[in-house]
Amino acid sequence: MQSIRPLSITFLLSLLISGCAGHGHQGLSAQCATGLEVAYQELDFARSKGFDGTVAWGKATTLLGAAKVQQQFEKYSSCIDKTDRARYYIRQASQG
């Protein structure tokens, strides 16, 4: 019975630590997801207005695809940067 107790404490501690491991990234994760959602909405809206085929449009779609990959690999800061840049290019495509 004595050997089980340290083992169970170690197991409980490892569960606690693993449960908290991703907790610090929730804000960045949400910001990445929201940024992607908004950018795709802006892209669809711009497309419905006939703003496509420009260099800025191509850059925006490429950045959004890369941002989605970064999200899947939990590289949220990079995802946020790419969605911000994509939204800039979407605005450029809409103005031109």
Q: What are the sequence ranges of the domains in the chain? A: 25-95
pLDDT of residue 80: 98
Could you give the C-alpha distances from 52 to 35, 44, 66, 82, in angstroms and in order? 20, 10, 19, 19
Amino acid symbol at 62: T
* pTM confidence score: 0.71
74-85: pLDDT as tens digits: 999 999 999 999
